[in-house]
Chains A and B, each alone.
Chain A
Amino acid sequence: MGGKQAGHDRVLLRVIPGGLTPGPIIDDIDDVLRACQGDNAAREALFRRHLRMLRQRVYRLMGPDPDSEDVVQEAFLRAFSHIRRLTDPRAFPAWLSKIAVHLVNHRLRRRKLLRRLGFQPGADRPEVMDTVAAPGVSPAIAVEARRVYALLDNLPTEARVAFLLRHLEEMTVPEVSAQMGLSERTVKRRVALAELRLAPFLELDAKERA
């Protein structure tokens, strides 16, 4: 831990409650406390440390959508603006992700509404997927991804997000529940609904679902 980042001293280790392993969490505690005081370098450290995780999550949840990067930015913006409300600095990544999931839910609902009103192109938007797809992705995979997202677009928003957090982000049900602010029972129902709708395409079998 000591060599992780310049400026961290050993005394920080004493801040860590027993049982926690040194690593990014220790950095987060220090940086969150400094960010609370308005330290821009601490904000930047937090941003760079968690950008990849958050981007991946938002992009996966939203799929081909030009708003994805904006959601990522907005999530960091809200987190830094209200960082003093974070009572446990160790929870920063989970808290940041929760903010992002909330924003994604909101954007997806809005997108759906706009689409119903005819303000946005249809569900299948290859041109958008081409711009957000990772470099080196084969056309076959891109097509498959587009098909999945087209199906996901027809799901209720909560079911879509719960399903993707559960299966794509490989979160446990309690983790999905905490991220979405829903009860575990509701999460299970939402995931089951998504599985039901997607089953013909994903060919999920009972064993995999278990």
Chain B
Amino acid sequence: MGNTMDSSGTGTASARTKLSALMRATQIGSPADADGAWRALQARLRGREHRARRAWFAIPALALAATGVLVFLSTTHRTFDRSIEIGGAFESAETETALSLPDGIRVDLDRRSRVRLQTVTPAEIRVALGKGSARFDVEPRHPRRFVVDADDVEVKVVGTRFRVTRIEAGGDDAARIEVAVDRGIVEVRDRRHDAEPHRLHAGERFSMPAISIGESSAAAPPAQEPAAGATAARARPSRAEAMLAARPASSPSTTSARQLLERAQVEWRAGHMTEAAASYEQVLTQHASDPRAALAALELGRIQMDHLANPAAAIVSLEQALKLGPRASFREDALARLARGYARLGRTADCRRAREAYAREYASGIHAAAVSRLCD
């Protein structure tokens, strides 16, 4: 390349002149047509925002459709698998329902029957039959003891298939518990009489009176009766319920997180940096699991570094931001600031580490040049 350039020598028109000509030829944009351009942009912005809003409206519609499909499946298919939480009860409606438990245990629940998953420990899985009838299929040599409670009847199994039924009182017949073994051996024990356990083999059946007052405490009915269809009622909030509670629109706690963030922005814009920092800190202490907590940590770090002259605190906040949002869009900025914070504190080793971390991920990043000059 150098040879080409050197051999070209100097011409009648310098490169600069030609480039200037190019610049003049392409200088465009008068204030008059800025109005038209803004109107066009506004129209496009409105269109995009409208599409975005429609997308948001589509989410509940899709959720509704998905629920409809689930309800359809639950009412038209004989069984489907559904997991159950520890402490949670499951009640089938008008269809038989299959449940999968840990260790590959399968529970085929008859119509209008209820089971509760009592405990799952390294040694034992314990289920209580609260109502109706269920067949339990347990693989041989499963790692944990499997116990089914029905009132005060305890059924202990090691690799078998059996059925436990709670027959409600009717006519002259009192309520009773029945255990029928399809395969393998089970031990059945009546806790009320502290009797020796009965060993039941395949084809054998065990029956004894149920507690007259109804269900035992172990298999107490759920606080909220399930609606139509196969539904699960839980003794404690489910994961889904917890997630629902964390949704910004439906939970007072996250609404207040939003308020805190808005307050922080207002304070920032008004130049009240200490107050803005306090609001961000509140987000972090009261709403650490909020999805916006990572951004709050970053903003707090920025304020501490740029306005409160507190790089040590900024480092803590920035590290928290990176931890809370490891893939956040601000990662590059946070890493660069972290290196700068360490540099300001004179923590050279940490600064170098942060600088290398930045360079590894953003070799050609927007702060690459500035960060590379730090720490030396």
Contact = CB atoms under 8 A, between A and B. Distances in A.
Interface in B23-76: 23-29, 34, 37-38, 40-42, 44-45, 48
B21 A51 contact: no
Interface stretch (B8-16, B128-136, B204-212): B8-16
Given A15-B269, A56-B28, A85-B329, A177 B369 contact: yes
A195 B6 CA distance: 12
B131 to A, nearest CB: 52
B298 A87 contact: yes
Interface stretch (B154-162, B279-287, B360-368): B360-368
Contact of A182 (B13, B29, B364): B364
Contacts, number: 164
B273 A56 contact: no
A141 interface: yes
A103 interface: no
B4 A196 contact: yes
Interface string A113-153: 00000000000000001001110010001101100110000
B27 A203 contact: no
A59 B37 contact: no
Contact of A47 (B10, B27, B38): B38
B19 interface: yes
Interface residue SS majority, chain A: helix
A205 B6 contact: yes
A77 B360 CA distance: 31
A92 B18 CA distance: 31
Interface of A: 11-15, 17, 30, 33, 36-37, 40, 43-44, 47-48, 51-52, 55-56, 59-60, 63, 69, 72-73, 76-77, 80-81, 85, 87-88, 91, 94, 98, 129, 132-134, 137, 141-142, 144-145, 148-149, 167-168, 174, 177-178, 181-184, 186, 192-193, 195-196, 199-206, 208-209
Given A47-B37, A60-B22, A167-B15, 11 more contacts: A11-B269, A11-B270, A73-B41, A81-B45, A85-B329, A196-B4, A199-B1, A199-B8, A200-B4, A204-B8, A205-B5
5 contacts: A15-B271, A52-B34, A73-B37, A87-B302, A167-B15
